[in-house]
Amino acid sequence: MTMISYSTLLAFLLLSLSVATAQSLDPYPLHDAAASYCTHLANDDAPSCPHASTHPALTLPVSSLPTFLSPDGGNGIIYAIATDGAGNWYVGGNFTLVNSSSSVSAHYIAHFHAPTNTWSALGSGNGLNGEVRSIAILGNSLFVGGEFTQADAGSASPISVSNIARFDIRTNTWSALGSGAGNGVNGRVYAITAFNHFVFVGGDFTQANAGASPISANHVAVFDTQTNAWSALGSSGVNGVVYALATLGEDLFIGGDFTQVTGRTSLKATGIVRFHTKTNQWSNLGSGSGVSGASQPAVYTIAVSGEDVFIGGEFTQVNAGSPMAANYIARFNTVRNTWSTLGTAPGNGVNGAVNAIAVLGEYLFVGGFFTKANLGATSPVMASYIARYSLTTNAWSVFSSTSSINNEVYAIASSGQDVFIGGNFSPPNPGASLPAPTGAVVRFNVSTNTWSVIGLDIGHLKLPQSEHSYYRLFSCPHVC
């Protein structure tokens, strides 16, 4: 029998992996790489990189791995987290396993019960058949969006859906959204938010009620849970992908990568726009026309608190036309109709893209792909991928002095004293003898200032009885 050396086997393995089918880890994939080796962080406070989506980022689907390789714990990335405020947390992304100590088969979405510290799948099957990008809760219903065609996948009777589905928390059952044979939208869903009995949906699609009698809906649509019917937003929409939605009173705030409202050539709106749900009227925020200052300005996340709307994304100016410098994050006051920056003068914002914002008490928790906060100050705050901002003192601070996150954050949710954070990073684990997994969901308690990993570890690859740092090349942020 011919013996194969370990080095030969390893070389063959890496070659095999390099040609396997890959999936994008970029939460905003629009284009191929235009600047393959550009870092997505602003260098010395002067950003020069294109939009995050122009960077290639590859990971291997589990199905392509040789059988003698296995992920340690889980096998994907977290893009969405939602909570009902009563100890139930729902996590979505690109994974098929949860809980490193005792794996649970949960495809692309899972339930974590904080009081008992347990994970479970949703439904009688194991979840969905494609990745999840957004989760919203309305009453006893969970609305889940992403890129998938089946809900209750793995069960005896999976349900046909189109990129969005509803899960009934009480009955543990999935259902489609639509009338007749309609079951969703005809493209990826990135954002969902709910108001009264309406569910607003944003993404990269042009039709709603897909599968039956579709209606035209340009990247944003509304689903009425009482009539089970889809409709366009004010008989219109926007001319580019929607990544973020949030409601404040009767206003819907829409963020994404677009430049105007469709059918309204006179209303230029770059990255952010407001829609009044009662009057069906569109309007800009402030006296300008949105965000600017980046090669492809876009808004990725929106959060509201009181009369303020906070936006984060890929931009260095707001109120385009009469611009104000604002580094990747800004505040809009709905009463005064004015923009303001976040920071203590002369600093403001952060030095890289903001993907997630959550409000808890007097603080904003901000996550993304950055290493500094209060940018432009004499002594900026060194904050890796996540930072805290005080709404009372206007000061930035590190998230925790005990440990830090070492790669990109895509999702943040808060409730009570807990902040849950998801993305493509190693969980804070000082003193660990082996490399940590390359992604996780972690919990940070603001009262005790402590971290805990809640069980979903997204794996570094390993050969039996050996660990090699170069296997981690298969888990990349925006740059790979």
Residues 456 and 118: their CA atoms lie apart, in Å, by 11
Phi, psi of 66 (to 5 degrees): -55, 150
* pLDDT of 24: 31
* pLDDT of 428: 60
* pLDDT of 403: 64
pTM score above 0.85: no
Residues 375 and 455: their CA atoms lie apart, in Å, by 34
Phi, psi of 56 (to 5 degrees): -75, 140
Domain ranges of the chain: 72-468
* pLDDT of 60: 25
For residue 346, whether the previous peptide bond is cis, meaning omega lies within 30 degrees of 0, is yes
SS3 readout for the chain: CCCCCHHHHHHHHHHHHHCCCCEECCCCCCCCCCCCCCCCECECCECCCCCHHHCCCEECCHHHCCCCCEECCECCEEEEEEECCCCEEEEEEECCEECCCCCEECECEEEEECCCCEEECCCCCCEECCCEEEEEEECCEEEEEECCCEECCCCCCCEECECEEEEECCCCEEECCCCCCCCEECCEEEEEEEECCEEEEEEECCEECCCCCCEECECEEEEECCCCEEEEECCEEECCEEEEEEEECCEEEEEEECCEECCCCCCECECEEEEECCCCEEECCCCCCEEECCCCCEEEEEEEECCEEEEEEECCEECCCCCEECCCEEEEECCCCEEECCCCCCCCCECECEEEEEEECCEEEEEECCCEECCCCCCCEECCCEEEEECCCCCEEECCCCCCCCCCEEEEEEECCEEEEEECCCCCCCCCCCCCCCEEEEEEECCCCEEEEEEEEECCEEECCECCHHHHHHCCCCCC
Q: What is the mean pLDDT of each run of 10 residues along the chain (480 residues)?
A: 42 38 34 28 35 30 24 62 95 88 88 92 97 97 98 96 98 95 96 96 97 94 97 91 98 97 86 96 96 96 98 98 96 98 96 97 96 95 94 92 80 94 73 47 88 57 25 26
Residues 79 and 170: their CA atoms lie apart, in Å, by 25
- The candidate with the shortest Cα–Cα distance to 132, out of 61, 52, 219, 192, is 192
Q: What torsion, rounded to 10 degrees, do the Cα atoms 216, 218, 223, 224 define? A: -70
Under CATH, domain 72-468 is a member of which superfamily?
YVTN repeat-like/Quinoprotein amine dehydrogenase (2.130.10.10)
Structure tokens at 208: 């709603």
* pLDDT of 103: 82
* pLDDT of 100: 66
* pLDDT of 402: 63
* pLDDT of 205: 98
* pLDDT of 43: 33
